[in-house]
Amino acid sequence: MSNNPTPGKCQGKPILGWFFFLITVAAVFGLGLLFASIMERRDEAKIRPPMVKIDKFEADNTKWSENWPRQHASYREMDDDTTRTKFGGAGPIDYLADTTANVILFAGYGFSKDYLQARGHTYAVEDITQTGRNNGKLPATCWTCKSPDVPRLMAQFGKKKVANPDDASLQELAVAGAGDFYSKKWNDFKDDITHPIGCLDCHEPDTMKLRVSRPALIEAFKRQGKDVNKVSHQEMRTLVCAQCHVEYYFKGKGKYLTFPWDQGTTPEAMEAYYNDADFKDWTHAISKTPMIKMQHPDYEVYSTGIHAFRGVSCADCHMPYRSEGGAKFSDHHLQSPLLNISNSCAVCHRWSEDETRSRVEDIQTKNAQGRARAERAIAFAHFDIAACMQIGVTDEQINSVRQLVRSAQMNWDYVAANNGMGFHSPQECMRILTKAIEKAQEARIQAARLLATYGYVKEVVYPDYSTKEKAQTLIKTFIAGNAPDLLNGYKVQ
């Protein structure tokens, strides 16, 4: 017999009742959700025009704070430079004492004298002024990523005329004047540039819309046939950072700030660009190799990772929403997300704070191991080349070995100079490190062969660079021409 009674009068009524009951429950629940969501997003969506009018070139963050006290107060939290995570934080870690191979790798260049971990944005002007790499003779280009005073000065010193200067946008004026600004000296602007990275760098004052204020990114996009102003809102939440957190170089005599992206943003593409341009940042003091310093290709590395692939922006992790007194706003305390896991990661990942931290540290530790192996191989390769020079190998014979070391170190630096110790794109960083190690070891094999042709078959005597002081004293001997004998008294017969 069927359990299924034929639909009839006695069945219809309760079913209908339940139906209405469930509809009502669902409706009430839905309204509740909607209300909660409205409450939550009330302040999120509220980018209303400022109450106090802000000038097109207003670089003083305190002026903006009258309209946006919460964002400004959180921005000022970057004054705390005491934080520390396993590999990051805002404390000024000394990268030369921490990793003494850095002194060897950057021998003959400013980074072997002074190389500290970055602090928060509020220190940008102070840090560029005080770094041991600044001898006062730097080009004005060095100011570009430090201060919202820069676009105004570009506009002021630009000789190129724009159609309607009074109506022209900050972007137009900055692009027109950039070249004249870059060709001046750092010292020319040291009284005009006082405000560290701030509101004007990322926001349009009238509307508070995000926008790119720096010419180099606008121009790099243009050369690739893209328009920096025609990207999605989500992409803009990354591009405001990509104005500064990228690889760049100073092109030509006018020291024109340029991103080497014409062939792409992979290390291969940037290396090809630099090789085609026959560019070098400096000549290595130990191996006389024409070298390239990578700056901080954070955007490029990030772009190859899983988060970029899934549309997660820099701001999602570094500027998460924060709630205060019922208001929700973007946290302007840009820092290591590991100091704020609940807001930065837990929105998307249901892992506990401890799990998240240990997952990140595990990724970073592996990256750090790969990095250290590359560092050692490249440092030794510089000494191997120096040993070849001591034995009498000619430039002609050794130049191809130098090319290998140049490439190895550029690839290593793409990973080393990028912030986050590999987290932004672990697999890509590992791929590049294995390449750096392979090239450095190939250079060492070729150098050993050259030494062998001169009858030297023992190991090169590698000098001690185990402390920052020892390493710095050592590279001075190479610069002064009284370097230690790397061949232990060996003389060609």
Find the binding residues for ligand HEC in span 346-365 (CB under 6 A): 347-349, 356, 359-360
Binding residues among 196-225 for ligand HEC as defined by CB under 6 A: 197-199, 201-203, 208, 210
C-alpha to C-alpha distance for 75 and 123, rounded to whole angstroms: 12
Query: CB atoms < 10 A from the CB of 340, how many?
Result: 17
C-beta closer to ligand HEC: residue 130 or 466: 130
C-alpha to C-alpha distance for 143 and 272, rounded to whole angstroms: 27
Q: If binding is defined by CB under 6 A, does position 68 make contact with ligand HEC?
A: yes
Q: Which residue has the tokens 């960083």?
A: 429
C-beta closer to ligand HEC: residue 107 or 315: 315
State the minimum distance, in angstroms, from the CB of residue 92 to ligand HEC.
Answer: 8
Q: If binding is defined by CB under 6 A, does position 146 make contact with ligand HEC?
A: yes
* Cβ contact 238:314 at 8 Å: yes
C-beta closer to ligand HEC: residue 201 or 413: 201
Q: If binding is defined by CB under 6 A, does position 318 make contact with ligand HEC?
A: yes
C-beta closer to ligand HEC: residue 317 or 437: 317
Identify the residue among 219, 247, 271, 298 touching ligand HEC (CB under 6 A): 298
C-alpha to C-alpha distance for 410 and 431, rounded to whole angstroms: 14
Q: If binding is defined by CB under 6 A, does position 367 make contact with ligand HEC?
A: no
C-alpha to C-alpha distance for 110 and 285, rounded to whole angstroms: 12
Binding residues among 147-176 for ligand HEC as defined by CB under 6 A: none
C-alpha to C-alpha distance for 480 and 443, rounded to whole angstroms: 25
Name which of 476, 474, 483 is nearest 387 in CA terms: 483
Q: Write the binding mask 262 to 291 for ligand HEC: x where contact by CB under 6 A, - elsewhere.
A: ------------------------------
State the minimum distance, in angstroms, from the CB of residue 268 to ligand HEC.
Answer: 20
* Cβ contact 379:103 at 8 Å: no
- Six token digits for residue 158: 């630009």
C-beta closer to ligand HEC: residue 95 or 302: 302
Binding residues among 36-65 for ligand HEC as defined by CB under 6 A: 47, 61, 64
Q: If binding is defined by CB under 6 A, does position 304 make contact with ligand HEC?
A: no
Backbone CA torsion sign across 196, 199, 200, 203: positive
- Which of the ranges 67-75, 168-176, 275-283, 447-455 carries the binding residues for ligand HEC, by CB under 6 A? 67-75
Identify the residue among 108, 139, 297, 337 touching ligand HEC (CB under 6 A): 337
Q: If binding is defined by CB under 6 A, does position 436 make contact with ligand HEC?
A: no
C-alpha to C-alpha distance for 9 and 12, rounded to whole angstroms: 5
C-beta closer to ligand HEC: residue 241 or 381: 241
State the minimum distance, in angstroms, from the CB of residue 141 to ligand HEC.
Answer: 13
- Six token digits for residue 64: 């903006």
C-alpha to C-alpha distance for 340 and 346, rounded to whole angstroms: 10
C-beta closer to ligand HEC: residue 330 or 434: 330
Q: Write the binding mask 381 to 420 for ligand HEC: x where contact by CB under 6 A, - elsewhere.
A: --------------------------------------xx
Counting every residue written for the chain, the total comes to 493
- Which of the ranges 160-168, 177-185, 254-262, 305-313 carries the binding residues for ligand HEC, by CB under 6 A? 305-313
Q: If binding is defined by CB under 6 A, does position 317 make contact with ligand HEC?
A: yes
Which residue number has the CB closest to ligand HEC?
88
Binding residues among 98-127 for ligand HEC as defined by CB under 6 A: 118-121, 123-124, 127
CA distances 213 to 85, 167, 179, 352, 472, Å, are 31, 16, 15, 38, 39
Plot region of 329 (φ>0 → left; ψ -120 to 50 → alpha; else → beta): beta
State the minimum distance, in angstroms, from the CB of residue 414 to ligand HEC.
Answer: 14
Identify the residue among 102, 335, 407, 446 touching ligand HEC (CB under 6 A): 335
C-alpha to C-alpha distance for 337 and 344, rounded to whole angstroms: 6
C-alpha to C-alpha distance for 271 and 367, rounded to whole angstroms: 22
C-alpha to C-alpha distance for 338 and 354, rounded to whole angstroms: 10
C-alpha to C-alpha distance for 206 and 170, rounded to whole angstroms: 12
Identify the residue among 174, 315, 398, 429 touching ligand HEC (CB under 6 A): 315
C-beta closer to ligand HEC: residue 268 or 361: 361
Max distance between CA atoms of the chain, in angstroms, equals 115
* HSE-up (13 A, CA, CB side) for residue 386: 27
Identify the residue among 329, 380, 383, 465 touching ligand HEC (CB under 6 A): 329
* Cβ contact 221:251 at 8 Å: no
- Six token digits for residue 311: 């549309």
Q: What number of chain residues touch ligand HEC (CB under 6 A)? A: 71
Identify the residue among 240, 387, 450, 475 touching ligand HEC (CB under 6 A): 240
C-alpha to C-alpha distance for 380 and 461, rounded to whole angstroms: 10
Identify the residue among 59, 101, 292, 314 touching ligand HEC (CB under 6 A): 314
C-alpha to C-alpha distance for 413 and 74, rounded to whole angstroms: 32
